[in-house]
Structure 1
Amino acid sequence: MAKRKHLPSNKHKGLLIYCYKCKKNFSWTKRYIKQENGIHTKEENTCGLTKKNFSKCKEHEIHKYKSRIHIPGTRDKKAVKTHDAETYDQAVSQAIEFENEFKGIREIDFNPEVSPRRHYLIDAQVLYMDFLENIGVPEHKKKDRSKKHIDEIEKTIEFFNNALKKNKVNPKIIIISKINDKHVGYFHKYLLEDLHHANRTYNKKMGIIKSFFIWSIEKFELKMTNPFKGFQKRPETSDNETITADEFKKLLEIISPLNGYVMEGKSKKNRYRDYLKDAFELGLHTGGRREEVVELKWNMIKETNNEPSYIVVSNLKVERQKGKAFADNVKPKIIPITQSLMKLLLRLGYNENIGSHEYILAPNRKAKTQSMMDAISKGFSHYYDLLGTERKLQFKNLRKTYLTYLVSALGGEAKSLSSHSTDEVLQKHYIDKKVVDKAVKKLDIFG
């Protein structure tokens, strides 16, 4: 948990604390006032909304240090920068660095026609990252984004800034509206020539920065065209490779602690986890993504005529895209319990656990969901590489294998295995029992 920020009485000039909740700039947090009798009494600044003392604010985690300085060579123009510092000392260091960037800057270097308030690229990036983490975002607009997703966006923004710096453009003092095709070209070249990104990764990173500019233009009501609007996506090759029955059998056979060691940099790590075999089999026989496999519970299994028929899984990916407010309207996935899946469920304890809230995979787990997801991905890649097939399959290729078999068995009917969130509506309007029954009878992967 972030510590409460403060400003000492002799604070660094121009340094403030900004609250994203009450929208107030705090130039001081507490001070001592000398009374007529000579006694000093403490006074605290107050919240812009509740009028309560600053030290009682429950929103202190969304407070940010901010610098506001005079632009040299101008009469009254100010430059503002939001810092990512957690402590006062860090904020002072960043404030001094910000001030140094303006030494020798003349008024002519700034465009007076932009707007009275300049929106610097680096400030917008800080605010965008806050937005992605739902800091200061109204409840109805909040979205559940994974840490991995947010980290990827932050890293891409860092790459964009590196591309600008390489071409003598300072992202800390350039305003957003001055970013144009030339700067997009810098990033394009940096991704391909410096980072050697493949087309798929290139397209993803260009799309991330394009989304940042869409947000910025709307957020700050900028009168500009998105400079990334016209970037051309590079052709991608689809990875539709599937794992064979022989490969999968050998893969399970070599999973052991002894075979799990790998060098990662200068450190030796072991990719083995006691739940890897079960995770790989669940991935193959459900077609689930990593998180779906890790989050599977016994009470997700639904019966028809007292027989296990299908599993209802939340469509986590779509729910996050739409946001929490619309999650209830997202149709979950329907996974038919095929012959091969039923054999696996029985081995994992179906008869003893049916209807319980226990996890199907690693019920006595201590690791968090994200840690298990990472272990599954890295474990699969490591052990598959040991097979020496000269192919680079990943855990996601198990899903492709499952879907290949499902489409082969059901054809176009495979698309109907998705439905609504409540059991009543699910049964009445969405579940095509004939399709589920057909899948159960026909689909037996590697059977």
Structure 2
Amino acid sequence: MKPGNVRNNDVSIFYRQLEIKYPHPKTFNKVLTSITSFYKFLIEIEELDIKNPFKNCVRKQVLTGDNLILTKDEFEKIIAAVESKSSFQQTRTNGRRDYVYATWMTNAFKLFLLVGGRREEVLSLKWSDIIQGNNGVLFFQFRNLKVERLGNKNTPKKYSPINEDLLKLLKEMGYDQMKGKNVKLIDPENTYTINTIMEKVSRSFTHFRKSAGIETPFTLKHLRKTYLTWVFHTMGSDTRLLSSHTSMKVLENHYINPLLLNVEEEKLMKVKVFG
């Protein structure tokens, strides 16, 4: 069969056979990536006028080691533990007691899940960081702190479109009243320094995860991993538009244009964490 004659039904049959022959997710993903790359070579290098039928095939989740992600049920249990205020304090091994509850803690955890940013990025967000593109889509604009700290002080900001789930949360947090204000979404009173609040939110997440009876050793960073996994379900290899993982060969100089989303970036608006 010629590459250009492959149809969706052929892809479905191949996908099912691949699952049988390569049950391990990593091997399965490597084979699927190889054939996707082959088609990309035919299209971009050989300039064949064909489509890539494997481009949107969903890869398998690799849930070993540090690649754990939360389920919807697990996340909701953690949120319930926060909202029930089951415990205001935790005791460290050195005897020090920390207050782990704050009125904004639930929103903080939800933002980490739906924004997918790093700790400092999410906890530094202000209402004035929400902008609207010419196409009417709302975006968060971030400083790319990771690149800036490598010495490039003139690094452009990066942009992430706000999808339906995230917009719903922002409206619940008071977007209509707060939009445009130079006030942080989390800890609006600036009670804590950025380093203190990063440590506080991390410790609180672990505390409430344990309070929820979840033994899997999730930490705050697994909310970002969960988000990127669901982005990957929708965008495949184009997850690099949001991710900064070097293992995914991210293009650090790629930033979404807030004035116009291209075809691949429009997929971000369709991302729904937990499906």
TM-score scaled to structure 2, two decimals? 0.66
Q: Give the AA of the match of 1:399.
A: R
Q: Does the 8 Å contact 2:130/2:139 carry over to 1?
A: yes
User: Residues of 2 paired with 1:419 and 1:353: CA distance?
Assistant: 31
Structure-1 separation of matches of 2:143 and 2:126: 11
2:122 corresponds to: 293
- Written as runs of structure 1 = structure 2, the 5 A alignment for 1:363-402 is 363-402=188-227
Check conservation: 2:89, 2:100, Cα contact below 8 A.
yes
Contact 1:332 1:420 in 2 (8 A): no
1:342 counterpart = 2:167: yes
CA distance in 2, matches of 1:432, 1:307: 11
> Could you tell me how far apart the structure 1 residues matched to 2:120 and 2:262 are?
27
Partner of 1:227: none
Mapping of 1:42-441 within 5 angstroms?
Answer: 238-255=65-82, 256-264=84-92, 265-305=94-134, 307-320=136-149, 322-323=150-151, 326-328=152-154, 330-417=155-242, 426=257, 432-440=261-269
Equivalent-residue separation in structure 2 for 1:387 and 1:348 (angstroms)? 24
Give the Å deviation of 1:394.
0.3
Give the Å deviation of 1:402.
0.3
Q: Deviations over 1:61-89 (max 9, x none)?
A: xxxxxxxxxxxxxxxxxxxxxxxxxxxxx
Percent identity over the alignment is: 32
Distance, in Å, in 1 between the alignment partners of 2:262 and 2:132 is 11
Contact 2:159 2:257 in 1 (8 A): no
Q: Secondary structure, in 3 states, of the residue corresponding to 2:131? A: strand
**Matched residues in 2 for 1:351 and 1:302: separation?**
13
Q: Would the aligned equivalents of 1:276 and 1:376 in 2 still touch at CA under 8 Å?
A: yes
Q: Please tell me whether Structure 1 or Structure 2 has the larger radius of gyration of its CA atoms.
A: 1
> Is the CA contact 1:273–1:375 (under 8 Å) kept in the aligned structure 2?
no
What's the CA shift for 1:360?
1.7
Q: Which amino acid aligns with 2:272?
A: D
Aligned equivalents of 2:101 and 2:258: distance in 1?
Answer: 41
Larger RCO (alpha carbons 8 Å, 6+ apart): 2
Gaps of 5+ in 1: 1-236
- The answer to whether the Cα contact below 8 Å between 1:314 and 1:332 also exists between their aligned partners in 2 is yes
Q: Are 1:443 and 2:255 counterparts?
A: no
Tell me the amino acid that sits aligned with residue 89 of structure 2: Y
Cα offset, 1:349, TM superposition: 1.5
Query: Which residue does the alignment assign to 1:26?
Result: none
Assess, with a 3 A threshold, how the Cα gap between structure 1 residues 258 and 391 changes in structure 2: closer, same or farther.
Answer: closer
Residue 437 of structure 1 and its aligned partner are, at CA, apart by: 2.5
- Contact preservation (8 Å) 2:202, 2:220: yes
**Number of matched pairs:** 202
Deviations 1:286-340 (A, max 9, x none): 00111111101122222134634321211212211x22xx221x35433221111
Question: Contact 2:241 / 2:254 at 8 angstroms: preserved in 1?
Answer: no
Unaligned runs of 5+ in 2: 1-63, 243-250
Alpha-carbon distance, 1:268 to partner: 3.4
Distance, in Å, in 1 between the alignment partners of 2:261 and 2:121 is 22
What letter matches 1:342 in structure 2? L
- TM-score w.r.t. the length of structure 1 is 0.42
Report runs of 4+ in structure 1 exceeding 4 Å deviation. 417-422, 425-428
SS in 2 for 1:259: coil
* SS state at 2:224 partner: helix
Structure 1, residues 239-260: CA drift from partner, whole Å, max 9, x if none? Answer: 0100110111111111154423
Shift of the 365–427 alpha-carbon distance from structure 1 to 2, 3 Å rule, reads: closer
Q: Which amino acid aligns with 2:221?
A: K
Q: Report if aligned partners of 2:133, 2:258 keep a CA contact under 8 Å in 1.
A: no
CA distance in 2, matches of 1:372, 1:318: 22
Q: CA RMSD in A?
A: 2.6
